[in-house]
Amino acid sequence: MSVDLVISCDCGRLAGKLRAVSPATGARYVCHCKDCQAFIHFLRRQSDVLDRNAGTDVYQTQPSRLVIAQGIDQLQCVRLTAKPTLRWYTRCCNTPLFNTTPSGKYPFLSVICHCTDPNLRDEAMGPVRGHLFPAEAVGDMSGKVEAGGNRMLLAVLYRMLWERLSGRYKRSPLFDPGTGEPVSAPEVMSPADRLKLDATITEAVSQ
Ligand SMILES: [Zn+2]
Ligand SMILES: [Zn+2]
């Protein structure tokens, strides 16, 4: 059974939903990669978003499922590295929302579960399938199942193809349906600022 899962930023200015979510329409992982960690630290949300192994709970699905009903003017995105990933958050209250590719023409959406209804999240998205980049985690990861690899990549490509061939990718509220450009111009962090951010993370972790 699928459900419409409410999403909102912490202050409520941005709100919407993910349509028809079920464990079969996406895949839930905890990502421990350095870039996901850096994003949450950039927003200064590490204490309430990252788990004790510095992991971020994410749900990968099709962008056409996303509806933003209000507060689209609060959307902001940032690129933290030379890698093209766009990381979306709200300017009103620094709530991390999504990770996407840089163009809507390559439809990929990773929803940061923090912005979804906590009462329905587990039922809608299903359990965490495993941990991505466990080698970059903080603390003891023994007993945690590693995920990713070809199976995840194939699922991502399949969802991308499904969106492209059906034309549904044009429904994503994050990108212009014609040009594929993001609706909010990305901030790009300089390498120097990223080094500074990484230094604050190292300091925070060692405390
Ligand atoms: Zn907000
Ligand atoms: Zn990551």
Mean pLDDT in residue range 113-133:
96
Mean pLDDT in residue range 178-206:
93
**Distance from the CA of 170 to the center of ligand 2, in angstroms?**
25
| Structural domain boundaries in the chain | 3-206
Kindly tell me if the per-residue pLDDT of 206 is higher than 90: no
Kindly tell me if the per-residue pLDDT of 107 is higher than 90: yes
Say what the pTM is.
0.95
**Distance from the CA of 47 to the center of ligand 1, in angstroms?**
17
**Distance from the CA of 137 to the center of ligand 2, in angstroms?**
10
**Distance from the CA of 193 to the center of ligand 1, in angstroms?**
25
Ligand nearest to the CA of 71: 1
What are the residue ranges of helices labelled H in the chain? 34-42, 46-49, 121-125, 149-166, 191-206
Output the CA torsion sign for 187, 191, 192, 197: positive
By the 10 Å C-beta count (0-12 exposed, 13-18 middle, 19+ buried), 43 is classed as: middle
Ligand nearest to the CA of 132: 2
**Distance from the CA of 33 to the center of ligand 2, in angstroms?**
4
Ligand nearest to the CA of 40: 2
pLDDT per residue over 17-62, tens digit each? 999 999 999 999 999 999 999 999 999 999 999 999 999 999 999 9
pLDDT per residue over 57-91, tens digit each? 999 999 999 999 999 999 999 999 888 999 999 99
Q: What is the pLDDT of residue 131?
A: 97
Residues with a beta carbon under 5 angstroms from ion ligand 2? 31, 33, 36
Kindly tell me if the per-residue pLDDT of 196 is higher than 80: yes
Q: What is the pLDDT of residue 49?
A: 98
Tally of CB atoms within 10 A around 143: 5
**Distance from the CA of 74 to the center of ligand 1, in angstroms?**
7
Query: What kind of fold does domain 3-206 have according to CATH?
Result: 2.170.150
**Distance from the CA of 100 to the center of ligand 1, in angstroms?**
20
What are the residue ranges of helices labelled H in 43-90? 46-49
pLDDT per residue over 128-171, tens digit each? 999 999 999 999 999 999 998 888 899 999 999 999 999 999 99
Q: What is the pLDDT of residue 82?
A: 82
Q: What is the pLDDT of residue 204?
A: 82
Region of residue 15 (left: phi > 0; alpha: psi -120 to 50; beta: else): beta
